[in-house]
Chains A and B, each alone.
Chain A
Amino acid sequence: MQRFGLLWLIPVALALEITAVEAFGLEPIQQGIVVLADLFGLHYNSFLIWLGTSLLGLTSGVVGAFAVLKKRSLVGDAVAHAALPGLAIAFMLIGERNFIGMLTGAAISGILGSLAISWLIRHTRIKSDAAIGIVLSVLFGLGIALSRIIQDDPTGQQAGLDAFLLGKTAGMISQDLLTIALVAANVLVMVALLYKEFKLIGFDPDFAAVLGWPVLVLDGLLMALLVFTTVIGLPAVGVVLIAAMLIIPGVSARFWTDKLHVLVPLAGFFGLLTGFVGTYASAQFADLPAGAVIVLSGSAVFMISMLVAPRRGLIARSLLELTTRLRIARQNLLRTLFEAAEENENIDIPITPSVLLKLRSWSPRQLQVLSWWGRLLGEVESHPTGWRLTEAGRRHAAQIVRAHRLWEVYLVEQASIASDHVHRDADEIEHVLTPEILKDLEQKLQAAGRWPATAPSSVHPLTEGEHA
């Protein structure tokens, strides 16, 4: 609780930083870049751009991870558009292209835009999608109208508002880098210090409020981080594409982990990677717009994550689905063979395909594949007239049949479901019943005095065509 009293230190620290930068000027930064560029054997300008986009990617990845978590992915997009009128007004007031002044204007109108969105969602019947769309398009319209007024002004050509629309990565200068570095450092430090708080208001703001935390202040701070990151990204990649820098790393990182403390740094890393690789790629294709190339590198990171991430990735998930399906189909084959043999009262009589096809909704082709799979596993053996279970297959089949029938009995006895309705349910659950559950079922039925002395027989007579 006490520590929230320290939140007022944030503006003080910012003021100190800005004073320090004013005092030392750009010289140390420029010299630092020269030294580092020499170290890597790179050209001064390309190194500067490289550093700038990577830092921007890192910051927007980290901030974007929280935005994605709070289902606010597109608020960043709206903020970017909403920043335009602020830029224009700042230019009108200052009368020249002052970088800090214009960024301040953009940040103010960005914050106002994001406040308008939250206000509309909370206090009117407008839903979040329309609120975002309205704020984004109306403020952008205002921005276009204002910038047109400026451009008609003779000095207006210097405003460079066009650069904010599509971004001019190659035009990055040491002052831009300084701003990006400053904002990045502040954002990262704040996220590190308030990680626990941001985490809780991301997952359960109501609980945070119950704890007495200043949820609105913290949420506002998170929004402010988003706005500042967006605004410093505008000159580099432009209005539309900064949204991508915010969303894509967070969404991509989500495929790889369920833990926020992994997700946030990973998103930062993906952002960094995007900026790094994108700048490299755009240096190879000099005639392509760099902002777009950077975003497409991000899309590549997203696609790779979506495909190959373990567990949540598409490949891993479809493999899991496939193996589960195969397992279930195989178990169904075993049980059907077992029950058909039960009917014959002789386990050695092979079951013909026509009987199996009547009992199950398989196509002949599916049956062929399944029986091949069963033979491969040594659970089914073929016979001139059909198939029968091997010793191993019998044992496995008995287990499945037992699970199936236990569940049927349980449903009839305990859940009072009519006996002609239980088969379907049991059919679905038999494949996922663990030995513990089965044991538990047995005990429950025993306790209720319903446990048959021998293995349970089916609650309904086995007849042909019971399976749809």
Chain B
Amino acid sequence: MDTVLGFDAIGFWIIATGILVNVSGALLGNYLVLRRMSLLGDAISHAVLPGLAIAFVVAQSRHPIPMLIGAALAGLATVLLTELIRRFARVAEDAAIGVVFTSLFALGVILISRVASQVDLDPGCVLYGILESAALDTISLAGLEIPRMTLTLAIATVIIIAFVGLFWKELKIVSFDPNLATTLGLPTTLIHYLLMAMVAGFTVVAFEAVGSILVVAMLVVPSATAYLLTDRMHWMVLLSVVVGISSAVLGRESALMLDTSVAGMMAVAAGAHFVLAVLFGPHYGVVARTLFQLRVKLRIQREDIMALVYRWQERGSGSAMPRNAIVEAMSGRTGHTLALNMLTWRGLMQRAADGFSLSDEGRKEAGKLIRGHRLWESFLAKHSPLPDDHLHSPADRMEHFINDKLLQDVAQAVDHPDTDPHGQPILSNGKG
């Protein structure tokens, strides 16, 4: 069997082609995801169909150049028509996209069925792609048999990398702040249409491999995965490329195992990456967010208990607070046992026979909280129309989020009072 770089040739070319599709798709997809235009990618990938058919009729061959031009024009027509219908007929954007791409797709299906008898451009190939048979149609280049599809995709990838590299700054500004881009005098519209032409061109070289619908997976999924993982543009681009490559490799391997469509499994693999990112993403992942919320909840719980004991000791001349009293005061909230254990473990509270009391360090911490609470009450009493008996609960929520700087500012704003609106003492800073 032929081998390339130690792999069997067919497998190598399938993986190489898959990687090229995924990488070039991911590079363009980042901008679609950021600009909330993913569906335009979907629309373009469907709407290139009539462009292909017309190009075939005009050129009377399946030569890639007229095909590419026809598809790019059809893609641009999709964007233009959507924009025109949206602007002049005042149709919502998603509806406009829906009308345009389905109509063009229907037109394409009809045109292709008319010319299909003369050419093997069957709808099945358009829908599924023929990635598996990539290695069958080769071109000899520098002594190496390279599949035509791989070569086309390689050229497309180079062009797309050049496009992204050359217009890096422009694309970034246009994606994040189109108004700023216009103010800076950047040709926003030109960049928009260039990007759309790139997407159309990509669609046309990619659909032969993966089919016109799965092109969307290559465009959107790796980029959306990267978008969940980072807030930096260069990381997003890098990560999307990594996810794209990984999806291509895993997709091919799993397809081999299950004996099924490579393109389909590539989309599924990309989807798996996305699900993992949704669940375990470092900042926006479901697990990370749940843990964060849990941590904040526990912290608030601990702080509430400390403040509770502080007030108890303030009133009751320093005696320990019985566990029952704490549990009763925290009624309806779960996790107070854990919070109490954490507090004693951290040495902020001591467990005695008759209950819990604050350690010196705990008293200092709690004093700060109470000070924040009472200062905030004073601030609200002075600066908000709330009646005095309504000040406690907003202060109760706020006390957990007052840092030193804010504490100083608030104290300043209420002229360092000695007591809060309810007559409770506010200890000055450091005395707590």
Contact = CB atoms under 8 A, between A and B. Distances in A.
B358 interface: no
Interface stretch (A93-101, A242-250, A432-440): A242-250
Interface stretch (A141-149, A379-387, A397-405): A141-149
A348 B89 CA distance: 47
A130 B38 contact: yes
A299 interface: yes
Contact of B98 (A77, A130, A166): A77
B368 interface: no
A298 B99 CA distance: 9
Interface string B195-228: 0000000000000000101101101110110011
A254 B92 CA distance: 11
B263 A144 contact: yes
B284 A148 contact: no
A289 interface: yes
Nearest to B275: A138
A66 interface: no
Nearest to B274: A134
Interface residues of B, number: 62
B95 interface: yes
A228 interface: no
B265 A68 contact: no
A132 B217 contact: no
Given A125-B228, A299-B103, A299-B106, A137 B221 contact: yes
A108 to B, nearest CB: 18
B271 A126 contact: no
A204 interface: no
Contact of B109 (A77, A138, A166): A166
B92 A71 contact: yes
Nearest to B88: A314
Contacts of A240: 46, 102, 105, 213
A132 B89 contact: no
Most buried by B among A123, A134, A247: A134
A74 B278 contact: no
A420 interface: no
A292 B109 contact: yes
Contacts of A128: 36
Contacts of B98: 73-74, 77, 243-244, 246-248, 251
Contacts of A130: 33, 36, 38, 220, 223-224, 227
Interface string B216-249: 1101110110011000000000000000000000
A444 interface: no
B265 A145 contact: yes
A120 B227 CA distance: 13
B42 interface: yes
A255 interface: yes
A77 B216 CA distance: 13
B103 A134 contact: no
A144 B128 contact: yes
Interface stretch (B252-260, B306-314, B329-337, B422-430): B252-260
A251 B105 contact: no
Contacts of A72: 94
Contact of A125 (B214, B223, B284): B284
Contacts of A139: 271
A162 B55 CA distance: 26
A143 B265 CA distance: 10
A388 interface: no
B73 interface: no
Interface in B86-117: 88-92, 94-99, 102-103, 105-107, 109-110, 113-114
Interface string A290-321: 01110110110010001000001010000000
Contact of B261 (A129, A144, A295, A296): A144
B278 A141 contact: no
Contacts, number: 205
Nearest to B251: A141
A299 B41 contact: no
A295 B50 CA distance: 15
A421 B224 CA distance: 49
B39 A133 contact: yes
A336 to B, nearest CB: 31
Given A71-B94, A247-B99, A288-B113, A134 B271 contact: yes
B95 A126 contact: no
A289 B113 contact: yes
Contacts of B123: 165-166
A124 B94 CA distance: 21
Contacts of B124: 162
Given A133-B39, A248-B99, A255 B89 contact: yes
B264 interface: yes
Interface string A38-73: 000000000000000000000000000000100111
A251 to B, nearest CB: 5
B173 interface: no
B264 A295 contact: no
Contacts of A145: 255, 258, 260-261, 264-265, 268
B270 interface: yes
B214 A140 contact: yes
A137 B251 CA distance: 14
Nearest to B43: A74
B85 interface: yes
Given A144-B267, A299-B103, 16 more contacts: A71-B95, A74-B94, A124-B228, A124-B286, A125-B228, A126-B278, A132-B39, A133-B39, A136-B42, A140-B213, A140-B217, A141-B270, A243-B102, A247-B98, A248-B103, A251-B91
17 contacts: A73-B92, A74-B94, A132-B42, A133-B41, A133-B221, A134-B217, A137-B217, A137-B221, A138-B267, A138-B268, A138-B271, A141-B267, A146-B260, A244-B102, A289-B113, A299-B102, A306-B89
Interface of A: 68, 71-74, 77, 81, 120, 123-130, 132-134, 136-146, 148-149, 152, 162, 165-166, 239-241, 243-244, 246-248, 250-251, 254-255, 287-289, 291-293, 295-296, 298-299, 302, 306, 312, 314
**Would you list the 4 A-B pairs with minimal beta carbon distance, nearest first?**
A141-B267, A138-B271, A244-B102, A137-B217
